[in-house]
Amino acid sequence: MSSSTGMAAAVVALAVLSLMGLVGRSQGLLKPFEFRHHDNEEMRLVLEDIAGECSDVSRVATLTEPSVLGTPLYYIEFSKHPGRHQILNPEFKYVANIHGNEVLGRELLLKLAHYLCEQYRAGNPEVVFLVRNTRIHLMPSVNPDGWQLATDTGGQHELIGRYNNNSVDLNRNFPDLNSIAYSNEEFSKEDNNHLLKEVNSLTQPLQPETRSLIRNILQIPYVLSATLHGGDLVANYPYDLSRSGKETGEYASAPDDETFRHLAKAYSQHHADMADPNMKPCNDENFAKNGGITNGAKWYALVGGMQDFNYLASNDFEITLELSCQKYPPASRLEPEWERNRNALMNYMWQSHIGIKGIVYDANTKQGVPNAVVHVTNMTEGIPREIKHDILSAHDGDYYRLLTPGTYKVTVQAKGFQPHTKLVNVVQRGYGTAKRIDFPLHGHNFQERPLVHANQMPFNGWINRPQPIVVQ
């Protein structure tokens, strides 16, 4: 084809495409956001419109399996290079509407996606910096069937629509890793992370929505996330299951309790009134008197929740946000709720940049070392306090260790290498990226200590095992 015919063909093609409305969208006007309850099809259209208008920094995708009734589980991603993990860019996610009748989070995430696109295009320096330095995943509805049922029945019942279409509470359907973690603590077993490999049996079959979420959790090296619920106003942090089995009132601290309390406050204190003690509480407990946060088990214990699963199966730190007294607020409440939550939603995403990050690499070849174990001891108060929750480096050797300000001894080990220890001072920083501390590793000598996590591998194969695990 000559260049002139090529050009003519291209012009014709462009004309046809533009008639179809398929070009010029990246220069087009982003449709104004409508505050209303979007149904499952409208949700897809909103996400696709946003991704079309911000195509250089976003894309829409689905989790691996649809819901029981076949509705795809959509998410939108914002990053410098959508679709790929970028070395040294932390991965973040917000997940909403896992309880189908708790609908505020779903609309907040649609609006947040719209806001990120709009502000990125407008050159808002905060949003531009955040999007270029973080990979953000927004999943507005992981229980669209429950949402449909709640909506079709008026949305005002406490439980109708909470479950998926098999009547299963998805936030109780994750494998129970807490019991494994607590047993390991009790018997001084060193395994304290990526515990899915120790699961031998499930108490109930995994639902398609749960399987999809688990695959996503194992595939993406998430650093931080939150799941959005309704029915109260509080930021809830791990653990959700008590150690004794007590149903309420027993504080179950995670090894990263200090960091989790910081993360929960990073939301509550930036919300309009979650941490305001003068606000009337939604229910019996006045969480605002405690800064708008609560330990999960202290409030009420639950087994099989997504929050603790993230922490114990992956590197991800997750908290649970209860965002409104009303589970299904009227459409007229959506815009004011966005205003009450906007700063908190933004501030929380920034927390994926606290602590330290860096690359673990082979000092000889300069190649990144995946699955290196990053172990931290808090030295801030003079007496060493080990944090018994290690994180692992990702595929290219990059690691992210969320920490609050203080002094820490950080030891990195990997099979075939000598351990490398550094003393690190973490200081409070404004909005910016985490302090970078790299760990070059040298080949081991004869003083090698047995590795605690010699067999530690990200457990991507687990979910696809042909004969997975016994269901009791």
Element (DSSP H or E) covering residue 297? helix 296-299
Active site residue 322: yes
Say how many C-beta atoms besides its own lie within 10 A of residue 7's C-beta: 11
314 Cβ neighbours under 8 A, 6+ residues apart = 194, 217, 218, 221, 222, 458
233 versus 394: smaller Cβ distance to Zn ion: 233
Q: How many residues bind Zn ion, per CB under 5 A?
A: 3
CB of 255 to Zn ion, least distance (A): 25
Burial grade of 41 (CB within 10 A; 0-12, 13-18, 19 or more):
exposed
157 versus 444: smaller Cβ distance to Zn ion: 157
Query: CA–CA distance from 261 to each of 177, 265, 266, 269 (Å)?
Result: 21, 6, 8, 12
CB of 159 to Zn ion, least distance (A): 11
CB of 50 to Zn ion, least distance (A): 26
- Please give the single-letter amino acid code of residue 436: R
> Which one, of 237, 59, 69, lies nearest residue 149 by Cα?
69
Out of 49, 53, 102, 318, point to the residue binding Zn ion (CB under 5 A): 102
99 binds Zn ion (CB under 5 A): yes
94 versus 361: smaller Cβ distance to Zn ion: 94
Please state, in angstroms and rounded to a whole number, the distance separating the CA atoms of residues 317 and 302.
18
CB of 133 to Zn ion, least distance (A): 31
CB of 143 to Zn ion, least distance (A): 10
The residue number with the shortest CB distance to Zn ion is 229
Instruction: DSSP for 371-420, please give it.
Output: T-EEEEEE-TTSS-EEEEEEEE--TTSEEEE---SEEEEEEEE-TTB--E
Q: Which of 107, 318, 322, 337 is catalytic?
A: 322
150 versus 214: smaller Cβ distance to Zn ion: 150
Question: φ and ψ at 151, to 5 degrees?
Answer: -65, -45
Residues 201-230, interacting with Zn ion (CB under 5 A): 229
Which range in 97-105, 110-118, 148-156, 410-418 contacts Zn ion by CB under 5 A? Answer: 97-105
137 versus 229: smaller Cβ distance to Zn ion: 229
CB of 281 to Zn ion, least distance (A): 17
> Which one, of 290, 289, 287, 274, lies nearest residue 341 by Cα?
274
Please state, in angstroms and rounded to a whole number, the distance separating the CA atoms of residues 472 and 465.
17
53 versus 232: smaller Cβ distance to Zn ion: 232
**Contact mark string toward Zn ion, 408..447, x via CB under 5 A:** ----------------------------------------
The token duo for 58 is: 């976003």
Burial grade of 472 (CB within 10 A; 0-12, 13-18, 19 or more):
exposed
Which range in 23-31, 98-106, 262-270, 296-304 contacts Zn ion by CB under 5 A? Answer: 98-106
The token duo for 82 is: 């959508």
**Contact mark string toward Zn ion, 227..246, x via CB under 5 A:** --x-----------------
Which range in 100-108, 135-143, 198-206, 299-307 contacts Zn ion by CB under 5 A? Answer: 100-108
> Which residues contact Zn ion (rule: CB under 5 A)?
99, 102, 229
Which residues are part of the catalytic machinery?
322
